[in-house]
Amino acid sequence: MSHSVQISTSKFPSFSATIYGEGNEISVVLIHGFPADSSLWRKVIPLLAKQYQLIVPDLPGVGNSSIAAENFSMDDLAEALSVLLKAQQIDKAIIAGHSMGGYMAMAYADAYPEAVLGLAMIHSSAMADNDEKIKNRKKAISLIQKGGKDAFIEAMLPGLFTKDFREKHPEELTQQRSQALSVAPEVLTAFYNAMINRPDGQNVLRTASYPLLWVCGAEDPLIPPAKTMQQTSLGFVNFVEIYNNSAHMAMLECPDRLAVDLDHFASYCYAKQTAHLSA
């Protein structure tokens, strides 16, 4: 059973999410990355919804959420998530973000630390873009604005998966490709600008009072394990999982293992909080 909820903020006319497993005691927010929508979590949701209340948003301009009225920041996205969770009377949740969803999760953890039960960074990073990354994003924005959206998607998509996965599961690539191709050019550029402008979040990790889970793919060209490992000792409790059979898309490449790791992490965070409250 699932149902949709929707809120609006000054930046976003409609920001929506689907809720699965309503009423379960522990809430887990699953935030998709770029240029995906909430369907990215299709394989993980059935594995977790019996035990957890899952809140799975569509970021502005994809899935059921309408496009933003103007450019937005990661902080604006975090604010929308906070409004949505408060409307559901969810005071504290595990916040799990995939890649760009992790950048948004960092902004949320920075602004609302008391509402974070645990932070799961899935193929993601707390670091800001470096100069080279910004240069490449600006090149991509210029290509997209000149009508090259499809070429941009076709060039980026295959590299998100391992070669083995691409060969064995062409249907998953087809689904991701057709979803990505349906995203409007102005939505893609708004996301890229929000990523370029996001601040470095390493201080958020240094002051985090909640546990962190780091999931990285051994073959991830975007956020390689070495980059993740630079950040895994900044927080005070860190779980680190390196997936040998994954590039950038563990939720499709190894959903069973990701669901198990999220389950263990969420149970740990909940037990830790319960022990703290009863101490």
By CB under 6 A, tell whether 152 contacts ligand MLT. Answer: no
- CA distances to 7, 44, 85, 121 from 53, rounded to whole Å, are 18, 13, 12, 19
By CB under 6 A, tell whether 183 contacts ligand MLT. Answer: no
d(CA 100, CA 105): 9
By CB under 6 A, tell whether 144 contacts ligand MLT. Answer: no
Q: To the nearest whole angstrom, how small is the minimum distance from the Cβ of residue 241 to ligand MLT?
A: 18
By CB under 6 A, tell whether 34 contacts ligand MLT. Answer: yes
Q: To the nearest whole angstrom, how small is the minimum distance from the Cβ of residue 101 to ligand MLT?
A: 7
Range 60-119, binding ligand MLT (CB under 6 A): 99-100
- When CB distances to ligand MLT are compared, the closest residue is 33
Site string for ligand MLT, 4-33 (x = CB under 6 A): -----------------------------x
Angle of CA points 18, 262, 245, to nearest 5°: 110
Q: To the nearest whole angstrom, how small is the minimum distance from the Cβ of residue 123 to ligand MLT?
A: 7
Q: To the nearest whole angstrom, how small is the minimum distance from the Cβ of residue 74 to ligand MLT?
A: 12
Q: To the nearest whole angstrom, how small is the minimum distance from the Cβ of residue 138 to ligand MLT?
A: 13
Name which of 34 and 53 has its Cβ closer to ligand MLT: 34
Range 207-266, binding ligand MLT (CB under 6 A): 222
Q: What residues line the site for ligand MLT (CB under 6 A)?
A: 33-34, 99-100, 195, 222
